């Protein structure tokens, strides 16, 4: 949620980040309507996580983006992209490992009624995903392309007709795994809901979360294979995009990334308690 909120092209990174803890609490409360004591604990836990993230991680993000712009000035290689993928993965793991102990403590306190609500919200969101799942293949491919162009133009500026035609070829090569991930999400949800209904200890929940989100032990061979295919697709696509952009677009991208780098560094120097808002 943090990374998505920070890198969506919003006009004010600070506005998004300084209110992200409130948005996260709202998401948790939507899934598991919180009791009074849970509200207090969740608020304190999220404040602690965000303070750590602001003070430790944002400066790391800023440095990583600076490295990326330096490399990007003369084009990218697959080795450089792999390096940045690894850095992003490491940042994800650091964040997850910080969250897991507090999440496990909270999840060990949820009631059956709260779990019922979690299941209900999941089903509602699943119904929304069914619409996309049932989208005809041609319409789905067109939507992927439209989304890709919209995102790329936010980072690079406008593309000419020849570039758009080349981007269309790249987009159409994207693997269509939506049915697999839909079924996988249902199994994941059932697995997690059953775990919570068994009234597990904090330690049991923590082990499950570490296996799933850090060690990735709960992913089978097919999931690893499909994830790898997706990674290879995006690696190839990024290299292909790098080959067709013109110097003006490259500079526009560097400027955008540099702005985020500066925003992250500035945010890392701030301290905002939830009590001050």
Across the range 117-121, mean pLDDT stands at 96
What is the domain count for the chain? 1
pTM of the model: 0.86
Which residue range forms the structural domain that includes residue 192?
2-276
Contact 148, 197 (CB under 8 A): no
Percent of the residues in the chain that have a pLDDT greater than 70, as a whole number = 94
- Pick the closest to residue 179 from 225, 129, 123, 139 (CA basis): 129
| Mean pLDDT score, 101-121 | 97
pLDDT digits (tens, 9 = 90+) for 41-89: 999 999 999 999 999 999 999 999 999 999 888 888 999 999 998 999 9
Contacts of 1 (CB under 8 A, 6+ apart): 20, 23, 24, 27
Task: Tell me what the mean pLDDT of segment 133-160 comes to.
Answer: 93
Q: 253 near 155, Cβ under 8 Å?
A: yes
Span 238-243, average pLDDT? 95
| 145 vs 176: CA distance, rounded Å | 13
- What the block records as the tokens of 8 is 């969506």
pLDDT band at 273 (very low <50, low <70, confident <90, very high): very low
């Amino acid at each position: 949620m943090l990374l998505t909120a920070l890198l969506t092209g919003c006009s004010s990174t600070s506005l998004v980040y300084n209110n992200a803890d409130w948005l996260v609490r709202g998401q948790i409360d939507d899934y598991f309507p919180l009791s009074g004591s849970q509200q207090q604990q969740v608020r304190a836990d999220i404040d602690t996580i965000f303070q750590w993230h602001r003070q430790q991680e944002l400066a790391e993000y800023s440095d990583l983006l600076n490295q990326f712009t330096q490399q990007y000035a003369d084009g990218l290689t697959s080795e450089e992209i792999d390096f940045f993928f690894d850095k992003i993965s490491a940042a994800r793991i650091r964040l997850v490992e910080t969250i897991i102990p507090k999440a496990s403590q909270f999840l060990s306190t949820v009631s059956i009624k709260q779990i019922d609500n979690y299941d209900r919200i999941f089903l509602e969101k699943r119904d929304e995903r069914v619409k996309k799942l049932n989208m005809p293949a041609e319409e789905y491919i067109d939507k992927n392309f439209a989304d890709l162009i919209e995102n790329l133009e936010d980072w690079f500026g406008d593309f000419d007709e020849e570039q758009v035609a080349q981007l269309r070829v790249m987009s159409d090569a994207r693997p269509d795994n939506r049915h697999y991930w839909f079924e996988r999400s249902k199994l994941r949800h059932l697995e997690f809901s059953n775990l919570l209904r068994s009234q597990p200890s904090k330690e049991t929940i923590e082990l499950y979360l570490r296996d799933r989100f850090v060690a990735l032990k709960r992913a089978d061979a097919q999931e690893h294979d499909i994830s790898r295919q997706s990674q290879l697709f995006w690696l190839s696509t990024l290299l292909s995009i790098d080959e067709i952009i013109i110097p003006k677009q490259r500079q526009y991208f560097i400027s955008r990334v540099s702005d985020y780098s500066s925003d992250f560094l500035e945010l890392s120097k701030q301290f905002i308690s939830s009590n001050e808002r």
